[in-house]
Amino acid sequence: MTGQTSDTLDEMTLVKAMTNLRQFAEIGNLNAVLIEEEEAELKANEVRQQMAKKSEVIADMQNKMNQVIALMMKKEASTAVQPAVIVPPTSEEDRSSPNHVKNEQSRQLKRI
């Protein structure tokens, strides 16, 4: 009987050992999966950071473009031809000024 008992014990020990090995393998697989998930999350974070930096660069470029456009519009407005405003001279001295003479000549030409 001792032979059967020792065989049974050996079998039980073997079954326990195999069960433990399976559990260790499952734990190892779970650890591998967790490591892969962590690596994927790290890569995703890197991509998010790169996208955020690119978004900042794009926003900065848009701001600069808007500033350039505003400056161009301001310059265009300042160099645009303004309509002549004719103000009649108030004194004899003003009537003899070159501007008044030019204005009078242009008025007379327009009438013709």
Q: What is the pLDDT of residues 46-98, one digit of tens each?
A: 999 999 999 999 999 999 999 999 999 988 877 766 666 666 666 665 555 65
Distance in angstroms (rounded) separating the CA atoms of residues 105 and 40: 83
95 contacts 89 by C-beta, under 8 angstroms: yes
pLDDT at site 87: 65
Looking at per-residue pLDDT, the higher value among 109 and 22 belongs to: 22
Residue type for position 63: N
pLDDT at site 102: 60
Distance in angstroms (rounded) separating the CA atoms of residues 67 and 4: 93
pLDDT at site 1: 46
What phi-psi label fits residue 54: left (phi over 0), alpha (psi between -120 and 50 degrees) or beta?
A: alpha
Residue range 5-16, pLDDT digits in tens: 677 778 888 889
Distance in angstroms (rounded) separating the CA atoms of residues 31 and 41: 15
- Domain coordinates in residue numbering, the chain: 2-80, 84-112
